Amino acid sequence: MIKDNARGMAVQILTRVEVEGAYSNLLLHKTLARLKDSRDRQFVTLLVNGTLKHRLTLDYALRRHLSKSMSALPHEVRAILRIGAFQLLFVDKVPPAAAVNESVELAKSFTKYTGLVNVVLRKVMEKGWAISWPDAKREAVRYLSVRYSHPEWLVQRWLKRWGSEETEALCRINNEPAPIWIRTNTLKISRPDLAERLKEEGITVELGARVPESLRIQDFGALDQLDSFRKGLFTVQDESSQLVAHVAAPQPGQSVLDACSAPGGKSSHLAQIMENRGEILAFDIHEHKLELINQLAHRLGITIIDAQLGDARNLPGIRLESQDCVLADVPCSGLGVLRRKADMRWQKDEKDLQELPSLQWAILERAASCVKKGGTLIYTTCTIEPEENFELVKKFRTVHSEFEPVDLSNYLPFTLTDPRDIQQARKGMLQLLPHRHEMDGFFLAKFRRIEH
Ligand SMILES: C[S@@+](CC[C@H](N)C(=O)[O-])C[C@H]1O[C@@H](n2cnc3c(N)ncnc32)[C@H](O)[C@@H]1O
3-state secondary structure 72-109: HCCHHHHHHHHHHHHHHHHCCCCCHHHHHHHHHHHHHH
- Sequence-distant (6+) residues with CB within 8 A of 70 are 59, 62, 63, 78, 81
Q: 438 pLDDT band (50/70/90 cuts)?
A: very high
pLDDT value at residue 222? 83
431 CB neighbour count, 10 Å cutoff? 22
Picking from 92, 118, 91, the residue whose alpha carbon sits closest to that of residue 104 is 118
**Which backbone phi and psi does 65 adopt, to 5 degrees?**
-115, 5
- Domain final residue pick, 93, 127, 161: 127
Residue 446, CA atoms < 13 Å, CB-side half-sphere: 24
| CATH code of 55's domain | 1.10.940.10
Q: Cα of 374 to ligand 1 centre, how many Å?
A: 25
pLDDT in the model for residue 408:
98
Q: Quote the CA–CA distance of 406 and 416 in Å, as a whole number.
A: 15
Residue 187 alpha carbon to ligand 1 centre in Å? 25
CB 336 near ligand 1, within 6 Å = no
| Size of the chain in residues | 452
Q: Is 236 in the pocket of ligand 1 (CB under 6 A)?
A: no
pLDDT category of residue 323 using cuts at 50, 70 and 90: very high
Known binding residues for S-adenosyl-L-methionine:
260-266, 284, 311, 329
123 and 164 share a domain?
Answer: no
Task: Report the pLDDT value the prediction gives residue 21, as an integer from 0 to 100.
Answer: 87
In this structure, the number of other CB atoms found within 10 A of the CB of residue 118 comes to 16
Q: Is the pLDDT of residue 225 over 70?
A: yes
Which residue owns the Cα nearest ligand 1 atom 15?
Answer: 331
The SS3 call for residue 69 is: coil
Determine what percent of the chain is predicted with pLDDT higher than 70: 100
* pLDDT for 220: 83
Are 316 and 210 within one domain? no
Ligand 1 contact via 448 beta carbon (within 6 Å)? no
Regarding the beta carbon of 357 and ligand 1, being less than 6 Å apart is answered no
* Residues 230 and 250 grouped into a single domain: no
- 206 and 339 both lie in a single domain: no
Query: Cα(186)–Cα(73) distance, rounded to whole angstroms?
Result: 55
Question: Is 122 within a domain?
Answer: yes
Q: What integer is the mean pLDDT of 252-268?
A: 98
Higher-pLDDT residue of 25, 87:
87
Mean pLDDT of 324-346: 96
Which pLDDT does position 22 carry in this prediction?
A: 86
User: Is residue 81 one of the residues assigned to a domain?
Assistant: yes
CATH code, domain with 191: 3.30.70.1170
Q: Residue 452 — pLDDT band, cuts 50, 70, 90? A: low
Task: Check pocket membership of 269 for ligand 1, CB cut-off 6 A.
Answer: no
Domain ends where: 66, 97, 127? Answer: 127
132 falls within a domain: no
Domain with residue 321: its CATH number is 3.40.50.150
Q: Is residue 214 part of a domain?
A: yes
**Residues 112, 130: contact at Cβ < 8 Å?**
no
Q: Is the pLDDT of residue 35 over 90?
A: no
Which spans in 250-403 are helix H?
265-273, 287-300, 344-347, 350-369, 390-399
Tell me: do 223 and 320 sit in the same domain: no
Q: Which of 284, 366, 443 to mutate to test the pocket of ligand 1 (most atoms within 8 A of CB)?
A: 284
- Ligand 1, atom 10: nearest CA belongs to which residue? 331
Mean pLDDT on 303-314:
98
Average pLDDT of every residue of the chain: 96
Quick check: 287 pLDDT over 70?
A: yes
**Omega of the bond leading into 95 within 30 degrees of 0 (cis):** no
Q: Is the distance from the beta carbon of residue 260 to the nearest atom of ligand 1 less than 6 Å?
A: yes
Contact by Cβ (8 Å): 13, 48 = yes
8 Å CB contact between 272 and 245: yes
Q: Looking at the predicted structure, is the pLDDT value of residue 135 above 90?
A: yes
* 171 among known catalytic residues: no
Per-residue pLDDT averaged across 419-423, rounded?
97
334 and 441 belong to one structural domain = yes
140: left (phi over 0), alpha (psi -120 to 50) or beta: alpha
The answer to whether residue 135 sits within a structural domain is no
Same domain assignment for residues 246 and 384: yes
Same domain, yes or no, for 110 and 156?
no
C-alpha distances in Å from residue 450, one per residue of 41, 148, 197, 325, 403 = 54, 47, 45, 13, 6
pLDDT digits (tens, 9 = 90+) for 197-210: 999 999 999 999 99
Q: Which residue of the set 171, 325, 370, 382 is catalytic?
A: 382
Same domain, 325 and 426: yes
317 part of a folded domain: yes
pLDDT score for 38: 83
Please check whether residue 134 lies inside any domain of the structure: no
Q: Mean of the pLDDT values across residues 122-151?
A: 97
Distance from Cα 52 to the centre of ligand 1, integer Å: 26
Q: What are phi and psi of 33, to 5 degrees?
A: -65, -25
Q: Is 361 in the pocket of ligand 1 (CB under 6 A)?
A: no
Residues 95 and 160 in one domain: no
pLDDT per residue as tens digits for the range 353-387: 999 999 999 999 999 999 999 999 999 999 999 99
Find the mean pLDDT for residues 405-413.
Answer: 98
Sign for the pseudo-dihedral over CA of 228, 230, 234, 238: positive
Reported as half-sphere exposure (CB side, CA atoms, 13 A), residue 171 has a value of 29
Task: From 183, 236, 243, 261, give the residue whose CB has the most ligand 1 atoms within 8 Å, as the site to mutate.
Answer: 261
> What is the Å distance from ligand 1's center to 263 Cα?
8
The 10s digit of each residue's pLDDT in 103-114 is 999 999 888 999
Note the pLDDT of residue 378: 98
Kindly state whether residues 268 and 404 are assigned to the same domain.
Answer: yes
Total domains present in the chain: 4
Q: Percentage of the chain with pLDDT > 90?
A: 93
What range does the domain containing 219 cover? 180-236
pLDDT at 358: 98
Identify whether 133 is part of a domain: no
Same domain membership, residue 259 and residue 219: no
